[in-house]
Amino acid sequence: MEKQLDYAVAQIVKLCAIPSPSGFTKEVEAHLLEEFRALGFKPTQTNKGSVLVDLGGEGNALVLAAHVDTLGAMVRSISANGRLALTKIGGYPENYIEAENCTVHTRTGKQYSGTILLKNPAAHVNPEVNNTKRTLEKMELVIDEKVSTKEAVKALEISAGDFVSFAPRTVVTKSGFIKSRHLDDKASSGILLALAKWIKEEKLPLTRKVYLLFTTYEEVGHGGTSGYPADVKEMISVDMGAVGDDLETDEYKVSICAKASKGPYDYDVTTRLIELAKKLALNYAVDIYPAYGSDADGALLAGHDFKHGLIGPGVAASHGYERTHLDGLENTLRLVKEYITTKK
């Protein structure tokens, strides 16, 4: 298991370093295609850019889905003073991006670093800094260029509609913690890459047909609505377990979600996941997430006739600067491996 976890962490670090806010995912798609080809698979892509991988097996096809798109922003407008106003990609509180370093990606291929700040942010100048409500109207992106007019910014080929990615600030500690933006859902994307490598290298016998699907629009709600092979009957989103009050999961567990914002997950799928977690003596939790939706929810809302489930490693501070642990990765990897290699 140590080998699989080392590979998973290495992939998580690589994935987090690749900017991929929803709608701007070509680079991370290319990384997945290259990595799976190197592992000996033949990945394909959907029209929307999702990466699909056939792991093998026969009968009652299951798809394990993770998403590689992340939160981010777009340039909404350029102010007269050369600062950039933003619009959000995905849902997060604005205070989670205050003082964050970021990159502006222009449509012409140029990149500019910058920082997202409160307007008039100096505590030595503005006595109302503490009391100012953090909204995008009160914040701006300051680019790291000598510009002070709208015209000067336009001359850099920056315009409305350019994507903005947030610095991931990824750290892996000696004690096994992984801290970074975008662990939702690059942590589980790394887990599924490790699962594929494990299957290929050790020729693990699959008890059914298994696909991996890496979606590219989950954070805006329609990542999992399309792109499935015709033989898929069941889907498990391998995403994250949110850590918080009134919940049992933490960074060391695999979370099994029984119900999210769109309703309960399939009874049989969820029950089997719980039974396998007990059988393996995993550190796990069963939780309910009233403010959470997954690609599996999106698939059913789009009309797909799937049984569906949701699991993932516990992740603290979701949609902010997130944290998980090697133990959570291991428990999740062991559970998905057992699910596809053990007969019912």
Under 8 Å between Cβ of 76 and 160: yes
Of 258, 239, 238, which is closest to residue 248 (Cα–Cα)? 258
Rounded to an integer, what distance in angstroms lies between the CA atom of residue 76 and that of residue 58?
48
Indicate the length of the chain as a whole number.
Answer: 344
Residue type, 20: S
Rounded to an integer, what distance in angstroms lies between the CA atom of residue 325 and that of residue 175?
9
Of 172, 170, 176, which is closest to residue 326 (Cα–Cα)? 176
264-270: Cβ within 8 A, 24+ apart: 265/296, 265/308, 265/309, 265/310, 266/234, 266/307, 266/308, 266/309, 268/307, 269/234, 269/236, 269/307, 269/308, 269/309, 270/309
**Inter-helix orientation angle 183-202/26-38, to 10°:** 20
- DSSP for residue 144: S
* Residue 37: both structure tokens together: 């080809």
Q: What Rg do the C-alpha atoms of the chain give, in angstroms?
A: 21
Under 8 Å between Cβ of 29 and 179: no
Q: Burial, 245: exposed, middle or buried (Cβ in 10 Å; 0-12, 13-18, 19+)?
A: exposed
* Residue 316: both structure tokens together: 């603290």
For residue 236, what are the β-bridge partners? 64, 309
Q: Of 100, 218, 234, 330, which one is the catalytic site residue?
A: 218
218 labelled catalytic? yes
Which active-site residues does the annotation give? 218
